[in-house]
Structure 1
């Protein structure tokens, strides 16, 4: 049980660390946006996200896995995004997540328990600069990651598809990370996946 609690806490921490990176299906009226249209300053108006974090450890021949899933749209969104020909600069970006996480416990691949956990988190205002290059006519590639991850987790290379829905700019991206960490002598495999869409309106 102590191992399970540790895994659950670890997954919750991973969720917080990766909540900056996500996507959803395209807006029905989304359309392409040109390089010229993309340039300028935009107000951050929200982010829709789906995340899945899995932490697994094997003890005495039994593999215990904890899966935490969230699906939400942020509220209390603030901040701006300045886009130039080769970089994006986010300024004082912040948002609040008020949702319910679904937690599942598996032992040797068999679901043993599932429950829901209220989750409320306000991201501290943060600013960041990320360089990008175009890929085709509808995607941007960020060699150092679009958003700097807090804590000890490094940024990762990432891409984002871009489009517009009316006067709203859509940045759709994905995040994936897999690593093994030593947690007090226990080898824990952490796998995190996220899809998201960040929305901005012309300032």
Structure 2
């Protein structure tokens, strides 16, 4: 259904708002498609995909929940729709190769909670934005769903959503907003935190468990 406008939550100065969208949408608007072959993906399914994700986020915001209750709701959405292990491993970067299975599991859990709190705190500020789904295309081993974001007081801008079935089902694993890559942004941020811990993964996990 190309041309479908889908309301989502927005507010903030232009540059800051767009930069935040690159990560906020990745952390809170979490995409997935029903199990099945990617070959069946079409514009109608892409529109339904984004509609479902956005509706889940809007429902969380409209629930009136705040604080830990809201963050838990976002975390449940994230856990349901996103390829969390892939996103977490990418965010940890080269250090993931040195992490033990137990550390990787603990980091993934801490990272998921961290993103839920981080974006849950901010997403209530986003009101009045809309997405226009344009279609999808296959890119090597994944699909990219193209959309245009309409934010009040701003020029429309491009948002690409990336989904893959590497986990065994079709899940969101990345989003790109006007060239800003969510995976790269999270890797930079987590890398800086790891540097502050002198490369100690257990220290990073402890920081993420406390951070918001």
**Structure with more contact order per residue of length (Cα contacts < 8 Å, sep ≥ 6):** 2
Query: Which structure has the highest strand share of the two?
Result: 1
- TM-score normalized by structure 2? 0.31
- TM-score normalized by structure 1? 0.32
